[in-house]
Amino acid sequence: MCGIVGAVGCRQLRSYLIDGLKTLEYRGYDSSGLAFSHEEAPLIYRIPGRVHLLEEMVPLSLEAGIGIGHTRWATHGAPTETNAHPHISHSGLFTLVHNGVIDNYRALHQMLSDLGYQFNTETDTEVIANLIEHNYKQMGDVLKALRQSMKMLEGSYALVIIHQGDDERLFFAKNHSPLLIGHGPDANFLASDYLPMLKHVKDFYALTDHQFGYISKDEVAVFDLPGNSKAKISYHQTDLTSEDINLEGYPHYMLKEIEEADNVIRHLIDNYHDGRNYLFNPKLLDTITASDQLIFLACGTSYHACLIGKRYLEALGKRVDVYIASEWAYYPVITGKNPLFIIVSQSGETADLIHCVKNIKQYKFPLLTITNTKGSTLDREANFTLLLFAGIEIAVASTKAYVAQVTLLALLAAALKGDSQLIPDLYHVIEALKKVIDMKSKFEKIADFLATKENAFYLGRGFDYDVSLEASLKLKEITYIHSEGLPGGELKHGPIALIDKDTPVIIFVSDSLTALPIRSNLQEVLARGAHVIVISSQSLAKGKDAIVVPDVPVHLSVLPKVMVAQYLAYYTALKRGANIDKPRNLAKSVTVE
Residues near 15 by Cβ (< 8 Å), separated by ≥ 6?
Answer: none
Reply yes or no on whether 306 is catalytic: no
pLDDT band, residue 100 (cuts 50/70/90): confident
* Predicted local distance difference test score (pLDDT) of residue 318: 97
Task: Tell me whether residue 2 is one of the annotated catalytic residues.
Answer: yes
pLDDT band at residue 244 under the 50/70/90 scheme: low
- Rounded Cα distance, 450 and 337, in Å: 49
- Average pLDDT of the chain to the nearest whole number: 91
The pLDDT score that the predictor gives to residue 76 is 64
Catalytic member of 310, 474, 476, 588: 588
Instruction: Indicate which residue of 2, 10, 299, 356 is catalytic.
Output: 2
Average pLDDT, stretch 420-442? 96
Q: Is the pLDDT of residue 227 over 60?
A: yes
* Highest-scoring range by mean pLDDT, 272-276, 421-425, 501-505: 421-425
394: helix, coil or strand?
coil
Of 230, 233, 42, 41, nearest in space to 147 by CA: 230
Please report the pLDDT score of residue 512 as a whole number. Answer: 96
pLDDT of residue 27: 62
- What value does the mean pLDDT take over residues 531-559? 96
E strand or H helix that includes residue 359? helix 351-363
CA 533 from centroid of its chain's CA atoms:
31
Percent of the chain residues topping a pLDDT of 90: 67
Q: What is the pairing mode between strands 339-345 and 293-298?
A: parallel
pLDDT of residue 589: 55
Distance CA 246, CA 144 (A): 43
* pLDDT tens by residue, 30-87: 788 999 998 888 899 988 878 888 889 888 888 888 999 998 766 666 777 778 889 9
- Say what the pLDDT of residue 350 is: 86
DSSP strand E in 73-152: where? 87-88, 94-99
The tens digit of pLDDT for each residue in 449-459 reads 999 999 999 99
> Cα dist. 414→51, 370, 462 in Å?
46, 16, 20
Beta-strand (E) ranges in 305-424?
A: 320-324, 339-345, 367-371, 384-387
Average pLDDT, integer, range 425-443? 96
The pLDDT of 470-486, averaged and rounded, is 97
Where does the pLDDT of residue 102 fall: very low under 50, low under 70, confident under 90, or very high at 90 and above? confident
**Three-state SS at 581:** coil
Sheet holding 3-8, edge to edge: 43-47, 31-36, 66-72, 3-8, 188-191, 180-183, 203-206
**Total residues found in the chain within this entry:** 593
